[in-house]
A and B are shown apart, each in its own frame.
Chain A
């Protein structure tokens, strides 16, 4: 924290004000801007990942349902009742799935909204940088008059105390926003788990209905439909793998948020220049695309 004691250790008000204006604030702003960009990019990645996989899964499920409907035509009455139940199950599933997806979108939006706190912190620090620039000018003027009654320097000291309060509030805002973000992440994961489990259970039940229908129906057409449903079920399940990369992305976000808090705190504490921000990826070599098999 950049408090009154930080200023007190400086030999003169002029030096401190110049330091604030030219070193601490621009770097704090840069840290925050970079941090916010990363958070927004992560959340966008998460949204795209879940949306893409859930939509793809939904598409495959609708093809399964088409096969089930086609099977109704060549099955006996007992099986028709079973398939009717599966159709009603499908309608309920689709409604619940839509609710889940909306809730997931809400969770992601809430996480994104919390970055507004960081935005306001950026504004506060920017305005602080302007104030400290004015202070630096005043300090230079007063320094030129030193030896007088010293009242001008006292005014600058008061203004600096005010600045240190603002910095403290700003740093608290950043910490609160990031703490809120971290608290919001588990809900994104819980929603994804719920979507995943619900879909798995739906696929299991549908597969049972279709197997039963194929056993009771006549001809090779039903068997080939059964094969198609099993194949499509596998494809739908493979889309549900999004939960694993999602969990890992969330864990990585959580780690990086901690790093951002640390970096901003160090800048606001006046620890000087930090190393260039790394994006956590090793350079050199080409990353394989998802699904690629790379044998050594």
Chain B
């Protein structure tokens, strides 16, 4: 069975792009349009193997989402990869401290994203 990756981004275009690249590599995709929706999906779907998450989003931003997710013991090993236009060291540090596993600055390279996803999910 293919592994499921949750893509959390408020931009339809980016969600479609990420999903397309990962689907072509054999992953199943779940999508959420903001941090709150992403959080709810992680809570309700235990099969999620990895999360790709934007930073700047309405309602709940990506960093807040990572902090909420990682507060729960059962999510400690869930890899969360940040995919964002931001590159500020302070934000990257905050993501790392919150428990994210990596940071990619948009625009992303589809091949590199797939390689990273395979590495992080042991696919």
Residues on A lying within 8 angstroms of B by beta carbon are 53, 196, 200, 234, 237-245, 247-248, 251, 281-282, 284-296
Can you spell out 5 A-B residue pairs with CB atoms less than 8 angstroms apart?
A: A237-B17, A241-B17, A242-B107, A285-B92, A293-B102
Inter-chain contacts of B21 with A (CB < 8 A): 234
CB closest chain-B residue, reference A286? B89
Which residues 46-72 in B have Cβ within 8 Å of A in the complex? 56
Residues on B lying within 8 angstroms of A by beta carbon are 11, 13-14, 17, 20-21, 24, 56, 85, 87-93, 96, 100-110, 112-113, 116
A7 shortest CB reach to chain B, Å:
44
Complex CA distance for A247 and B101, rounded to whole angstroms: 26
- Residue in B24, B85, B88, B89 whose beta carbon sits within 8 Å of that of A244 in the complex: B85
A238 touches B108 (CB 8 A): yes
B63 shortest CB reach to chain A, Å:
14
Complex CA distance for A296 and B98, rounded to whole angstroms: 12
A244 touches B102 (CB 8 A): no
A239 touches B87 (CB 8 A): no
Inter-chain contacts of A293 with B (CB < 8 A): 102-104, 112-113, 116
Sorted nearest first, the 9 A-B pairs with minimum C-beta distance are A285-B89, A282-B90, A287-B87, A241-B107, A295-B102, A245-B85, A294-B103, A244-B11, A296-B96
B100 shortest CB reach to chain A, Å:
7
Complex CA distance for A240 and B87, rounded to whole angstroms: 20
Inter-chain contacts of B101 with A (CB < 8 A): 295-296
A238 touches B85 (CB 8 A): no
B38 shortest CB reach to chain A, Å:
17
Most buried by A among B100, B106, B116: B106
Complex CA distance for A238 and B24, rounded to whole angstroms: 14
Given A237-B20, A282-B89, are A245 and B103 neighbors across the interface (CB < 8 Å)? no
B87 shortest CB reach to chain A, Å:
4
A102 shortest CB reach to chain B, Å:
22
A281 shortest CB reach to chain B, Å:
6
B13 touches A240 (CB 8 A): yes
- Residue in A241, A289, A291, A292 whose beta carbon sits within 8 Å of that of B14 in the complex: A241
Inter-chain contacts of B87 with A (CB < 8 A): 287-289
CB closest chain-A residue, reference B85? A245
- Residue in B13, B56, B91 whose beta carbon sits within 8 Å of that of A241 in the complex: B13
B102 touches A290 (CB 8 A): no
Complex CA distance for A294 and B82, rounded to whole angstroms: 9
Complex CA distance for A292 and B105, rounded to whole angstroms: 6
Complex CA distance for A290 and B116, rounded to whole angstroms: 15
A282 touches B112 (CB 8 A): no
Inter-chain contacts of A290 with B (CB < 8 A): 105-107
A248 touches B56 (CB 8 A): yes
Excluding A234-B20, A241-B17, A291-B108, 9 further A-B contacts by CB distance (< 8 Å) are A234-B24, A238-B107, A251-B56, A282-B91, A287-B87, A292-B104, A293-B102, A295-B101, A295-B116
Inter-chain contacts of A286 with B (CB < 8 A): 89
A294 touches B20 (CB 8 A): no
B106 touches A244 (CB 8 A): yes
B85 touches A248 (CB 8 A): yes
Given A241-B17, A282-B90, are A294 and B108 neighbors across the interface (CB < 8 Å)? no
